Amino acid sequence: LAICWDKKTLTIKFDESFPEAGALIGFGQRAIRTESESRTEDSLQTAMANEQARFHIFLGSKVLVRKDDAPTTTFLCNEAQAFDVQFEEAVLLGADDTGPRLAVPSSFDVESLVPPYTTYDMRALLYSSAISDIEASTVAQAASLLHWQRMNRYCGLCGQKTTSRIGGYRRECKNCNTSQFPRTDPVVIMLAIRGDYCLLGRSAHFPPGWFSTLAGFVEPGETIEAAVRRETYEESGIELRRVRYHTSQPWPFPHSLMIGAFGEAISEEIRFDANELEDCRWFSRDDVRKMIDDNHEAGFKCPPTKAIAHSLIRKWVQASDD
Ligand SMILES: [Zn+2]
């Protein structure tokens, strides 16, 4: 593909791998066909009546796991009924080749769970290998959708109760005839690069030794590139020029999309925001390579492989090796 513009030929290079990096990190594997555009008003009831329908059960923001020889977060209707699930609050996630997939909240007391049943929060799920990456991705979809449902029970315009439609992919206010659709909040997460160094910061709540990429919400009216530059400057005092997209990651805390990018740093003096970070430094490629391999002499570490921060950091380190 070549685009002719102003007597120059700009070539669009598809020089990234396929599947892209985002398909290989946590929560990035799309296995469910949502088909929210083609649903009818009885799609949810039809799916629930299907004997092959499987349910992801949520106790608050945690997902129920049956942790036996083949751990799973999916339950057929019979097994789900033992956990006080609120079927009237069920949402239809979609379907895969095995049948419909739904998510349902439960009022079951977490303290009353006995093995092999337990719960995982989304962070534990991200870093666990108990269930497959594909299943974890569907759980993330479910967690985000159920949270949005919970937070939109009333109309923001007139204050009346809203009702869930098309299996939970829309909420409707009959009083003022408005609809709300599931939201996704964009967050930029970026690795600033300056020659042979990259910029990493440390939040107070990180595990000991952890350093990671900077990140922050995209603000209304902002491009992704502007958000990358603004957030980096606000958090570290470092100015960026060019910005390049890397990949993205669904981030169910509660319903964000992490947009990963590289930024070209054009300043070096760090003045970090002490409200956001407790440390922020330039790290050399050699340092970062050791951090990835978890053998840095100072005990510094990077986030683990399933985090988009890791993908950004690894991509930069590997690029230097080419
Ligand atoms: Zn209304």
- Ligand 1 midpoint to CA 124 (Å): 37
pLDDT of residue 165: 94
- Burial code (b: 16+ CB inside 10 Å, e: under 16) for 144-173 equals bbbbbbeebeebeeeeeebebebbbbbbbb
**Residue 83 CB coordination number (10 Å):** 18
- Ligand 1 midpoint to CA 176 (Å): 4
pLDDT(50) > 60: yes
The CA distance from 70 to 316, in Å, is 36
Give 34 or 10, the one with higher predicted confidence: 34
Cβ–Cβ under 8 Å, residues 77 and 102: no
pLDDT(240) > 80: yes
Q: Which amino acid is at 134?
A: I
Cβ–Cβ under 8 Å, residues 215 and 258: yes
- Ligand 1 midpoint to CA 27 (Å): 34
- Ligand 1 midpoint to CA 153 (Å): 11
pLDDT of residue 263: 98
- Cis omega (within 30 of 0) for bond into 186: no
User: Which of 122-136, 138-152, 159-173, 217-231 has the least mean pLDDT?
Assistant: 122-136
The chain-wide mean pLDDT, for the chain, equals 93
- Ligand 1 midpoint to CA 165 (Å): 15
- Ligand 1 midpoint to CA 215 (Å): 35
What's the whole-number mean pLDDT along residues 123-151? 94
Candidates 100, 103, 96, 97; CA nearest to 52 is 100
- Ligand 1 midpoint to CA 174 (Å): 7
The CA distance from 154 to 150, in Å, is 9
- Ligand 1 midpoint to CA 162 (Å): 7
Cβ–Cβ under 8 Å, residues 166 and 41: yes
The model carries a pTM of: 0.92
Residue 259 CA, distance from chain mean position: 9
Distance in angstroms between the alpha carbons of the first and the last residue of the chain: 25
How does pLDDT run across 202-226, given as a tens digit for each residue? 999 999 999 999 999 999 999 999 9
